[in-house]
A and B are shown apart, each in its own frame.
Chain A
Amino acid sequence: MKEINVNVCLGTTCFVMGGTNLNELLEIVPKKYGDKVKVSGSPCLGLCSINWEYSKAPYVKVNNEVVAEATVEKVLNEIERQMTNEQ
């Protein structure tokens, strides 16, 4: 199975626009998926500076998929989706 990489943006825009709860992913994901899913925090992913895209912050990347207006829920769903697609 292909490895899934989750990249949580901890940049200023994402933080200010409501990304503070996403920190929890750094704890939840390893607990839930062990080493099947790698999760890390990252400085600005560069998505917020495209046009008015900051209005869709916070962002999380699950492999190459961008989750906009991310919530813990949405990100977990995306992980599940990619896992089932793999199988």
Chain B
Amino acid sequence: MNNNSQAIHLKKEILIRLVKAFFSENFPQNARLIPYDMRPKGSEVPYRCCIYKERAILKDRCIAGLGFAIEEDDETRLLSDYAQKALEREIPQNDPLTVLDAACKGCVPSRVYVTNLCQGCVARPCQSTCKFGAISIVDGKSVIDGTKCKNCKMCISACPYNAIVKLVVPCEDACPVGAIAKDENGHAKIDFDICINCGKCIDACPFAAVHEKSQIIDILRRIKEGKKVIAMIAPSIVGQFPGSIYQLKSAIKKAGFYDVYEVAQGADITSLNEAKEFAERMERGEKFMTTSCCAGYNQLIKKHMPEIKPYVSTTKTPLFYTAELVKNKVPDSITVFVSPCVAKRTEGMENPNIDFVMNYEELGALFVGRKIEILSCEEEKFDKESSKQGRNFGVTGGVAKAVQDASDKQDSIKPCIISGLNKDSIKQLKKMAKDGCNSDGCNLVEVMCCEGGCVRGNATINNSRSAYKVLNEFVENSPEIKEPKK
């Protein structure tokens, strides 16, 4: 959940305008006009230096909304060109994230800095605690020599006046793997070779400079062509929109989708398979196993921690099973995963059964753009009701609990939970991989990239507290995955 409300509002508005433009008589032309419609001649300039820069940034946001990398834009190309290209594109671009150079303010480089609260005291604890000799006194006040400072922050805790601060670059600070950093011009750049697409930089940037490359036009084109476009909705979607999930199903169909499946249905398969796999591994004498359904975690394994691979469950993700099921049932369908986060876009690109990915914000924009009122939609049930456990997959602890409930030997499972990938939890995982066991004696490690689970994914709409309440009630009223043993 992004708490940058102003910025997120803007991103959604762009998506809504793109949807409206798509359904107008002249999509490319109306797409081109979006920045002018949003900032017409003479309008006030709410955020930037002048109206031209505002429009330039809005144009960049549209480029991302049309699914292209802003980094590749040479500024001469018109939005109408991009719109046309988006219509002709057969497969979406790789690397789901893109950074708006013009929107990135290029925050001051991350460093430790003495503010003018420095009293120039006699004790000078900052100077004496610094092991690197980086602090000197100039005109009676402390000054840090950036070439010597190692950012250890000892001086910050030593100063009795709290006069020393660490200046952070929010995106750099949020990235768990050091994949985003300022380039020589001071603007943030993503290194896609190491980026795990967790989306934490999207939430962190106060200028909303990081965007997902949307596939919404690709999806809408298929719908318009009359293809059987099928939505597969992630379990965490419950609580993200008004009304019940059954009303949501008919709202999605009203938006042009052929059918809607709960990914919780695939989650039930994941739980049962993973419980079996777990038992086999323990029998073989292995010490622990980690879950494997989080796409951000899977990227982390691939790019940063291949050594943990032997301990990661080889059971497929709920999305994998759901997409397989849908393609078997409706072979000529186009499948769209409706996702809480950007990370799942990578899974979509790797799995031929998943044609496109659309996040919750984009689905919301589609409803607004098409004037679909969920609360006035009929309730429509699913062919198969998913279980309580499957529907709770998007909440931290939910996957471990589901595997446990699906197991025949529940007592043999000692779960522990990694809720949120950050520098510390990555260290923890690395240690487990190295030691070949978990020091707490736990044997099933659930890993979720977002703190709190998918309900806190970067593209969620509702705040997690209120979403969780709705989801929880729905889960409570769902059937058990397995009759509990007497």
A18 proximity list for chain B (CB < 8 A):
5, 8-9
Interfacial residues, chain B to chain A (CB-CB below 8 A): 5, 8-9, 12-13, 16, 37-38, 241-242, 251, 361, 364-365, 367-368, 371-376, 461-463, 466-467
- Interface-centre pick from A13, A20, A54, A55 (highest chain B CB count, 10 A): A20
Interface centre among A13, A16, A21, A49 (most CB of B within 10 A): A16
* 8 further contact pairs, Cβ within 8 A, besides A15-B241, A43-B376: A12-B367, A12-B372, A12-B375, A16-B361, A20-B461, A20-B467, A44-B373, A69-B9
Query: CA–CA, A20 to B251, complex, Å?
Result: 19
Q: Count A/B pairs, Cβ under 8 Å.
A: 58
Return B234 CB to nearest CB of chain A, in Å.
Answer: 17
- A79 vs B292: C-alpha distance when bound (angstroms): 50
| Interface pair B242/A15, CB less than 8 Å apart | yes
- CB neighbours (8 Å) of B16 from chain A are 54-55
Q: Which partner residue on chain B sits nearest A48 by CB separation?
A: B368
Majority secondary structure, B binding face? helix
Pairwise interchain contact A52-B367, C-beta atoms closer than 8 A: no
Minimal Cβ-Cβ distance residue in B for A13: B368
**A1-43 toward B: CB 8 Å interface, digit per residue (1/0)?**
0000000001111011110110100000000000000000001
- B376: nearest chain-A partner, CB-CB: A43
4 shortest interchain CB distances as A-B pairs: A16-B364, A20-B462, A43-B375, A13-B368
A48, B368: Cα distance in complex, Å? 9
Q: Write out the residue numbers on chain A whose beta carbons fall within 8 Å of the beta carbon of B5.
A: 18
Q: Decide: B461 and A16 in contact? CB cutoff 8 A.
A: yes
Measured CB to CB, the nearest residue on chain A to B239 is: A20
Q: What is the minimal beta-carbon distance from B35 to any residue of chain A, in angstroms?
A: 14
Is B12's CB under 8 angstroms from A16's CB?
Answer: yes
Q: How far apart are the CA atoms of A20 and B361 in the complex, in Å?
A: 13
A67 to chain B, nearest CB (A): 15
| Complex interface: chain A residues within 8 A of B461 (CB) | 15-16, 20
Residue of B nearest to A49 (CB): B371
Minimal beta-carbon separation of A39 from chain B (angstroms): 16
Does the CB pair B373–A54 fall under 8 Å? Answer: no
For the complex, give the distance between the alpha carbons of A44 and B372 in Å: 10
The distance in angstroms between the C-alpha atoms of A12 and B254, with both chains bound, is: 14
Q: Which of B37, B361, B364, B373 contacts A52 (CB 8 A)?
A: B37
Contacts of A17 in B (CB 8 A): 9, 12, 368
Q: Which residues of B contact A52 (CB under 8 A)?
A: 37
CB-CB under 8 A from A69, the residues of chain B are 9
